[in-house]
Amino acid sequence: MISDVTFKPNQIVCLGFQDKCLYGEVIQTIEQRQTCWVRPILMVQQEDLVWDLRSSSDLILPLCLFRPCFDTEILPLFTQLNQLNSLASRESTCCDLNLFVREVWRMNQDKFSL
């Protein structure tokens, strides 16, 4: 499972799964393990529900799950992110991220094995 995708630090990437997209900033790619260390920024569900993930934990996931993110895709979401009120607790946001990552893992177990 060698990926031809290469990401640079600070690049914004997206992991789309079912009706959600996780956007994050690349911290580092680990070529030997074909993984990507990503700092989550936000998650979107059907373009109308946005979770602020800036205070959540970093993730290390397979490179092949991510795609590059275009500026035109992420800039409107950043605007939404800045307009969010903090009604959603940090705990529930982290739980939502945890559930998302678990579901991605469950459906892509073959990509997580070395």
The rounded percent of the chain whose pLDDT value lies above 70 is: 85
pLDDT at 44: 92
Q: Would 6 be classed as within a structural domain?
A: no
- Please tell me the total count of domains within the chain: 1
Identify the weakest region by mean pLDDT among 51-60, 84-93, 94-103: 84-93
**What is the secondary structure of 32-101 as a DSSP string?**
GGTEEEEEEEEEEETTTEEEE-TTSPPEEEEGGG-EE--HHHHHHHHHHHHH--TTS-HHHHHHHHHHHH
pLDDT at residue number 69: 94
More confident residue, 87 or 63: 63
Q: What is the pLDDT of residue 1?
A: 47
How far is the C-alpha of 63 from the C-alpha of 50, rounded, in Å?
24
Range of the domain at 58: 12-71+82-112
Is 1 contained in some domain?
no
